Copies of this chain bind each other. A is one copy, B any other.
């Protein structure tokens, strides 16, 4: 037996686990709301605890650190976004023509990435890219390119289309160079048009 979990007990431990799940959910919601209201940089663990109605110790027990909490918010947001690509309404989700889906993907990814940029800064994970998140987008774009009928080195063309949507690049364009998001999206759509028409 490689699984050494104790046998499930009735009573107290189960309640504890249920309480823990409830606390986690409350903390995530409170943190997400505070981030939306004040920006990730301004959010403190004290505020998150107060908003969720739990003690500060509980926040640290759940997430270890402020960075851990920001990382958890980031993962949750990425997971939600992936779900909307896989099974949400078209054109981001299935059911629209592949080029429409690709354009919707770009628009949506730009927005999500800009929201994530701040969380990533606060989570202290500016450097390493999330390989899992990258793999998901790469596979999706590669699939759409094939559906559109694009020929060529699709894995690398997919990477090329995705590269301008990476956090440091979008963050620089929008936050430092102050390009309007619409302009960034239009330019990305133009790039996609050039890539697929051949």
Show the binding face of A for B, using Cβ within 8 Å. Answer: 126-129, 131, 134, 152-153, 156-157, 159-160, 163-164, 166, 168-169, 172-173, 176, 179, 183-184, 186-188, 190-191, 194-195, 197-198
Contacts and interface: CB of A to CB of B under 8 A. Distances in A.
Given A152-B190, A198-B194, A164 B159 contact: yes
A187 B173 CA distance: 25
Number of copies: 2
A126 B129 CA distance: 10
A129 B168 contact: yes
8 contacts: A129-B168, A156-B183, A159-B164, A160-B164, A160-B187, A166-B169, A194-B197, A197-B198
Main secondary structure of the interface of A (DSSP, over half): helix
Contacts of A195: 191, 194-195
Given A159-B169, A160-B164, A160-B188, 17 more contacts: A126-B128, A128-B168, A129-B172, A134-B172, A152-B187, A153-B186, A156-B164, A156-B183, A156-B184, A156-B188, A157-B187, A163-B169, A166-B166, A166-B168, A191-B195, A194-B195, A197-B198
A153 to B, nearest CB: 5
